[in-house]
Structure formats: C-alpha cells, structure tokens
C-alpha cells in the first residue's frame, strides 16, 4: 500500500520508518526545510536509535517532500503534526486544520497526533469529504521505532466500518492486542494512559517526601510495591519529576477538557501539582550561595534521546541562575542554552554540587573517585539512579526519599 505522512517529528518519522520496513511505499511531508534536508541525506533531525539505518536501507520505498499535494494518490494519509499546548492548557489544533485546508482530493485520514476527546468526530463533521480514523501513538522516545514495530497494543477509533476493518487488517499483522472502538474512546485511551503513568510518578514523588522525613527508602518501597502484579514496578521511580513532550502537554489538555465539561479531575490535577513542586523539593536539598558552581549531569528529559522539551534540567538551571549560581551542564547528546561541558570531568571540576538529572549509563556508573575534582564532593541524585549509593566513598550523597534524615518514630516509655 501507499501511505502519506504529514509531519516528520518523532511520531511521524517512527511511523514512516515502520511502514517502510513493513514493505509499504511512504511519502513523508515535512515543512521545515532544514529537517527535510537532513532527512533527504539519510539523517534524522533528532537522536532516535535505528531510524538512520531505515532511512538509508529503505530509501527506495521512501519519498520525502515539502508538498502536501504530493500525497494525493495515497491509500491512507497519516497526520502526525504537532498539537502543542496553548497558554490556557488547551490543545492547539491549528496545524491539523492547516493541513486539511490544503487537501484538494478525498482522503482516508488517520490521525496519529494526540488530540482531545471529540476531535475526530468534529473533523468528520467539518470535512465531510474525508473519512477520519484515529490510531493514537504510545511511543517511548529512545525506543520509538521498536514501539512502532511491536507495540503493546493498537487502538483504532473509527465510525466507518469499512475503514475500521481495513485498518484492523493492516495493524493486525503486528500480532499484538487490538481494540476497535469509537474515536472518542480511542482519544481518551491515549490521554488516560499518559495521565495514569504521570500519576504513578507523582504518587511516588509525593511519598518520597514522607520517606525522607521518616527515614525510609523509597526505592525499596517501590520494589516491594512493584511485586504486586496489580501495581507493577514501572513508573514507580521517585525523582525530579516527569518532563518531555507528552506528559505535561497531555495532562494540561485533559484538565482543560474536563474543565470545559465542568468536571474536576482532582487526582490528575493533584498529580500535575506535585510534579510542578518536585523541582522545588529537589532544590531544598541544596544549600547554595551566590557564585557557587553546580554541575547538572544529564540534560535531556530522559536517557536515549536528545529531546529537551519540558526537560527538568532547564527549570532547575533557571532556578539556580536566579540565585546567582554558576551552572554547567553535561549530556552525551543533548544540548541547551546554558554553559555546557564536553565531558563529565569538565563539568565536575571545581563544582560545589553535582545533580544527577538524567540517568544515562555513563552518569549513573560514575565511580566515587570521578568526583575528586569537585570543590566540595556533594551529589544530589535526583533520579535515585547512582550505582554507588552503598559505597559512596568520600562523596556526600543524597537521593530522593532515601533515608538521609533521622527517623521520627516515637520511642516507647
């Protein structure tokens, strides 16, 4: 089959690569000229394992262009354009609307962008010449291509039975659980999934504050909780909070949709609030003074990617600079607008504090003697990921909720 994909960010490019690997011909449309130039040379505009190899090995099945009109003869047109947050937290659908306004022929359109519940139904009314379906993405940056080729599940939302059956046949070849449902259910499954994962993170971050005061170890607590199959161990790591392009945006959009429907999603709102204040909690562990030097180890919002969207490192640096603290960062692949070292050793040299923010293997496996160049060997482990907690050597170590403070347990009389 022939597919068109409009928008070659993480979702669009991962989808393009997956379809090409599956033997389909794909026309990818990207409006950004620099991104398009890189893609045409076989290089993704961001770090994502496996994508460069697919672009080069399957080049004969991939057509790259900046013209939406080049997709007129495709079997399916996939929309993977951005849906960023507006200032009020609502989802900005202007990029989707701009694409639809340029289409001159009828299309079967699959929406992969994250959109609020009710969007697909609305588009079916606004653009009756097209047939819309939504197949929400559940990709994890750092393994996006793998998640396209073997997702945990596929959700198809479509009111047109013929299109729904055809999409089920295409995605059914992946051999994974498949749900065919209404568009609004599919849209809400996407938002609800991200909101639940974000809430798990915030739950543990909230609990980590109690663990710190009571003298408990939140990592051991997470291990014990995670053995319950009803809970599971993933997303139970306490730390500096979630970031990235999905969780913050989708939480805000879901809360905005709830508000429009006069519903207060109190649990989700509380989870978002905990995440907002977790940076402040991490900062409370530092006794910084003007002209101190702080090394931030890891800049990207998670390992395996160079994505800096809503990365906690940026907000952390902003707070540091506001206190007249000198900040220097290090990351194997990500970059930012603050001073940045090319090696961990360079970042640590002369620093008063080091803060582990992104759990790259290179960083979490730093031996205690790697901190010898610091002015004061103080490590704040904002991901509870450092491998030498049990034997920190001369390093003054503090994690998040890891028994750094004496217990307040009352003694018996």
Q: Is the pTM of the predicted complex or chain greater than 0.75?
A: yes
Residue pair 395/379 in contact by the 8 Å Cβ criterion: yes
Does the annotation place 260 within a ligand binding site? no
- Banded model confidence at residue 404, pLDDT cuts 50, 70, 90: low
| H helices, E strands: number in the chain | 14, 13
State how far the Cα of 129 lies from the Cα of 138, in Å rounded to an integer. 29
* Cα separation, 379 vs 356, whole angstroms: 7
CA atoms within 13 A on the CB side of 270: 8
Q: What is the mean pLDDT of residues 180-206?
A: 98
pLDDT beyond 90 at 365: yes
Residue 139 among known ligand-binding residues: yes
Is 140 annotated to bind a ligand? Reply is: yes
Distance CA(4)–CA(27), nearest Å, equals 5
What's the chain's average pLDDT?
Answer: 94
Q: Do domains 2-181 and 193-398 have the same CATH topology?
A: yes
- Per the structure block, which two tokens stand in for 303? 């390992």
Residue tagged active-site, from 17, 91, 158, 246: 246
Q: What residues does each domain of the chain span?
A: 2-181, 193-398
Q: In this prediction, what percent of the chain has a pLDDT beyond 70?
A: 98
Mean pLDDT within 369-379? 96
Between residues 403 and 45, the one the model is more confident about = 45
- Given a cut of 50, whether residue 372 has pLDDT beyond it is yes
Please state which of the four CATH numbers 2.60.40.420, 3.40.50.720, 1.10.287.610, 3.40.50.920 is assigned to the domain occupying 2-181: 3.40.50.720
141 is in an annotated binding site: yes
In whole angstroms, what separates CA 29 from the centre of its chain? 23
Task: Output the pLDDT for position 19.
Answer: 95
- Residue 411's pLDDT is 37
Condensed to tens digits (0 to 9), the pLDDT of residues 337-358 reads 999 999 999 999 999 999 999 9
Q: 193-398, what's its fold? A: Rossmann fold (3.40.50)
Q: Per-residue pLDDT tens for 256-300?
A: 999 999 999 999 999 999 999 999 999 999 999 999 999 999 999
Chain segment 297-313, per-residue pLDDT in tens: 999 999 999 999 999 99
Q: Judge contact between 264 and 326, C-beta under 8 A.
A: no
Max CA separation in the chain (angstroms)? 83
Please write down the long-range contacts of 36-41, taking CB distance under 8 Å and 24 or more positions apart: 36/8, 36/64, 36/65, 36/66, 39/8, 39/13, 39/64, 40/64
Q: Is-contact 301 311, C-beta < 8 A?
A: yes
118 pLDDT exceeds 50? yes
Q: Region 68-73: what's the mean pLDDT?
A: 94
- For the chain, give the number of residues: 413
Spatial separation of the C-alpha atoms in residues 127 and 171, rounded to whole Å: 25
Task: Examine the residue annotation and report whether 246 is marked as an active-site residue of this protein.
Answer: yes
Query: Is 35 labelled a binding residue?
Result: yes
Task: Encode pLDDT of 8-60 as tens digits.
Answer: 999 999 999 999 999 999 999 999 999 999 999 999 999 999 999 999 999 99
pLDDT score at 410: 40
- Asked if residue 235 belongs to a known ligand binding site, the reply is yes
């Amino acid at each position: 089959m022939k597919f068109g994909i409009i928008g070659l960010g993480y979702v669009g490019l991962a989808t393009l690569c997956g379809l090409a690997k599956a033997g389909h011909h794909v026309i990818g449309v990207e409006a950004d000229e620099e991104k398009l130039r890189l893609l045409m040379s076989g290089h993704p505009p961001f770090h994502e394992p496996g994508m460069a190899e697919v672009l080069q090995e399957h080049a004969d099945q991939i057509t790259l262009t900046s013209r939406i009109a080049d997709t007129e003869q495709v079997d399916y047109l996939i929309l993977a354009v951005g849906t960023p947050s507006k200032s009020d937290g609502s989802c900005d659908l202007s990029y989707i609307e701009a694409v639809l306004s340029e289409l001159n022929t009828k299309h079967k359109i699959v929406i992969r962008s994250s959109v609020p519940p009710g969007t697909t139904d609305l588009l079916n009314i606004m653009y009756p010449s097209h047939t819309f379906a939504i197949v929400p993405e559940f990709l994890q940056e750092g393994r996006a291509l793998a998640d396209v080729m073997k997702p945990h599940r596929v959700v198809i939302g479509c009111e047109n039975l013929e299109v729904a059956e055809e999409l089920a046949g295409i995605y059914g070849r992946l051999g994974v659980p498949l749900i065919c449902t209404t568009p609004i259910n599919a849209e809400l499954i996407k938002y609800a999934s991200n909101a639940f994962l974000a809430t798990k993170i915030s739950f543990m971050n909230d609990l980590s504050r109690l663990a710190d005061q009571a003298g408990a170890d939140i990592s051991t607590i997470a291990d014990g909780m995670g053995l319950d199959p009803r809970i599971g161990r993933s997303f139970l790591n306490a730390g500096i909070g979630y970031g990235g392009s999905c969780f913050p945006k989708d939480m805000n959009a879901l809360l905005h949709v709830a508000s429009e429907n006069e519903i207060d999603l109190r649990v989700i709102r509380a989870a978002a609030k905990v995440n907002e204040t977790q940076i402040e909690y991490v900062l409370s562990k530092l006794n910084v003074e003007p002209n101190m030097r702080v090394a931030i180890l890891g800049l990207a919002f998670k390992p395996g990617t160079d994505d800096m969207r809503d990365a906690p490192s940026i907000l952390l640096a902003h707070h540091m600079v506001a206190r007249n603290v000198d900040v220097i960062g290090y990351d194997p692949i990500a970059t930012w607008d603050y001073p940045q070292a090319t090696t961990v050793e360079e970042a640590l040299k002369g620093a008063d504090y080091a803060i582990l923010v992104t759990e790259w293997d290179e960083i979490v496996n730093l031996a205690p003697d790697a901190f010898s160049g610091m002015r004061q060997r103080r490590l704040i482990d904002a991901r509870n990921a450092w491998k030498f907690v049990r034997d920190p050597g001369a390093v003054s170590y503090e994690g998040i909720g890891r028994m750094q403070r004496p217990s307040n347990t009352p003694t018996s009389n």
